Amino acid sequence: MFGAYTAGAITRGRYLTSLSNDLHRYYRTICVDYRFKVENAGKHWAVRYFKLRHSRKLWHLANLAVFCRAALLPDEARDGWLAEQLPRPPLLRVADALRPLGGLHLCAGLVTAYDAFLAALAEPDTRRALDVLAYDVREASPVFRRLRAGAERFDEAATAVVGHLWQRSPDHLVRYGLL
């Protein structure tokens, strides 16, 4: 995938912008797909909801972190580093991006919250409870409330990472991550 952007005739010289934009569009597509599946296709909503708030958000955060870190590398080192990082698991990408930016300690909150999410989804009773949970009674479900609290902890940890990236790579974050 990375090679398609670095060798592209149209995006040559601006492939980081194109790749970053396409990754953002993909994340948006995941979010829109969730809305369609839940509201129009009648799919189970709860597991998808928590995946969106954990796994999909982590994937997006990892991409932001990698691009912010890559923007600070010398031009001749950037391509190789990105090609090495993009196929890696998202938590490792975040850690490798934050380490040289002095933010590795911020990964602890992400890892703790994400680990709790994965452990919860691995519990058959939790999965069953989520599969049958009706949206309008979600607040009465202790499983839902527990996972939502975990998602909020994950959000707090992700916000801390973005705040750190903002301090270390604001021009890139604004140009490629936000606008």
Paired tokens of 129: 């409870």
Please give the Cα distance from 49 to 144 (Å, whole number): 10
Angle value at C-alpha 116, between 141 and 102, nearest 5 degrees: 135
Please give the Cα distance from 94 to 67 (Å, whole number): 10
Please give the Cα distance from 150 to 119 (Å, whole number): 11
Structural contact between residues 105 and 163, judged by C-beta atoms closer than 8 angstroms: no
pTM over 0.85: no
Paired tokens of 40: 């129009």
CB-based burial of residue 153 (10 Å sphere; 0-12 exposed, 13-18 middle, 19+ buried)?
middle
Annotate 111-137 with b (16+ C-beta within 10 A) or e (fewer). Answer: eebbebbeebbeeeebbebbeebeeee
Tens of pLDDT, residue by residue, the chain (179 residues): 556 555 555 554 555 556 666 665 666 676 566 566 656 555 678 988 898 889 888 988 998 898 889 888 888 888 888 889 988 999 999 999 999 999 999 999 999 999 999 999 999 999 999 999 998 999 999 999 999 999 999 999 999 999 999 888 877 666 655 55
